[in-house]
């Protein structure tokens, strides 16, 4: 059973951007971003999630970023590799690669665009469970995928040995409480929505896969440490400091605002891959002001 060992997947786990330079992955910038994350005491890292522009990377690039991340982290924090696809065979291939590369777990989004049924979702994750012995997180983000995996389906999947938890980006707090009851001991619950992660933690969540931590790793780490220790008054103060930044990083198509913020800090280029374009200039002042509130810039 899952609950025999302590859960290593908790606190703030950064959904890393993939920096580009001249159309290619900027490996030097990526390495520096990872070191900054670890120096900021984040609790884990996710390469090639949505924020890592997985949808516009080639398969080779996707695998390269996972391998690079694992290599650079060198066991200092857990690495949860983005490994989703709307074709089950392709998802299995990415999860196999994540295991071979040495990732600690895989983050597998519900299949998008083709809108599978609940039974189809069950069979998708069941096939991954059977194919690869690696912990899997189910990523539920209906706003992006047009499909919502129900608590009933998650409860069925929670019984599979390799399916260990969820990244929930629905912002639905009651769902979290109900899921805690139905998925049982050892089910790991991570938020996928920075602004509402305070509520998610209070409803029994273990952590968050965070976009904002790209920009403010130390502040996000302090926030989740407060939540994990049950110091809700400190968490509330930190939430108030971070919420403007949480919001501002979605003023334009993600991860464009996050890449703008990182470029403003001199950490990587703003460059994204089409159809994502650099953050509109109209949002720059708001993002910088929000970074100021979060203590990232003076």
Active centre residues (catalytic): 139, 167
Sign of the CA dihedral running 139, 141, 145, 146: positive
Question: Which runs of E-coded beta strand occur in 150-231?
Answer: 163-168, 188-191, 207-210
- Residues contacting 168, CB < 8 A, separation 6+: 140, 175, 176, 179, 189, 190, 191, 192, 193, 200
Scanning the structure block, which residue is given the tokens 């009933």? 152
Q: Which residues pair with 93 in a beta bridge?
A: none
Question: What is the rounded distance in angstroms from the CA atom of residue 250 to the CA atom of residue 130?
Answer: 36
Rg from Cα positions in the chain: 18
Angle at 168 (CA atoms; ends 243, 241), nearest 5 degrees: 10
What span, in angstroms and rounded, lies between the C-alpha atoms of 239 and 268?
26
Q: What's the sign of the alpha-carbon dihedral 198, 201, 206, 209?
A: negative
Signed CA dihedral, 61, 65, 66, 67: sign only = positive
Give the integer Cα–Cα distance in Å for 31 and 21. 14
Non-local CB neighbours of 55 within 8 Å, separated by 6+ positions:
none
Give the whole-angstrom CA distance, residue 291 versus residue 275.
26
The whole-angstrom separation of Cα 256 and Cα 192 is: 18
Closest to 85 measured CA to CA, from 51, 117, 41, 55: 55
């Amino acid at each position: 059973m899952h609950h025999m060992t302590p859960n290593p997947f908790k606190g703030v786990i950064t959904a890393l951007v993939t920096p580009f330079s001249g159309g290619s992955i900027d490996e030097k910038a990526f390495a520096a971003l990872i070191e900054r994350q670890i120096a900021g005491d984040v609790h884990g890292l996710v390469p090639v999630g949505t924020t890592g522009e997985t949808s516009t990377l080639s398969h080779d690039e996707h695998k390269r970023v996972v391998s690079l991340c694992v290599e650079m982290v060198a066991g200092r924090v857990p690495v949860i590799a983005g490994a989703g696809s709307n074709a089950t065979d392709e998802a299995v291939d990415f999860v196999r690669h994540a295991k071979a590369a040495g990732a600690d777990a895989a983050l597998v989004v519900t299949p998008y665009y083709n809108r599978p049924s609940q039974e189809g979702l069950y069979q998708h994750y069941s096939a991954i469970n059977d194919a690869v012995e690696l912990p899997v997180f189910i990523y539920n983000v209906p706003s992006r995928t047009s499909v919502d995996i129900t608590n009933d389906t998650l409860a069925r999947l929670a019984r599979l040995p390799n399916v260990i938890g969820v990244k929930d980006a629905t912002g639905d707090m009651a769902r979290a409480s109900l899921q805690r009851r139905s998925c049982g001991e050892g089910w790991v619950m991570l938020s996928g929505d920075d602004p509402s992660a305070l509520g998610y933690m209070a409803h029994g969540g273990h952590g968050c896969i965070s976009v904002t931590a790209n920009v403010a790793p130390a502040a996000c780490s302090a926030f989740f440490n407060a939540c994990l220790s049950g110091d809700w008054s400190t968490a509330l103060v930190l939430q108030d400091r971070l919420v403007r930044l949480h919001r501002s990083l979605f003023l334009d198509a993600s991860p464009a605002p996050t890449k703008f913020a990182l470029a403003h800090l001199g950490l990587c280029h703003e460059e994204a891959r089409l159809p994502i374009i650099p953050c509109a200039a109209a949002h720059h002042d708001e993002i910088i002001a929000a970074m100021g509130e979060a203590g990232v810039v003076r």
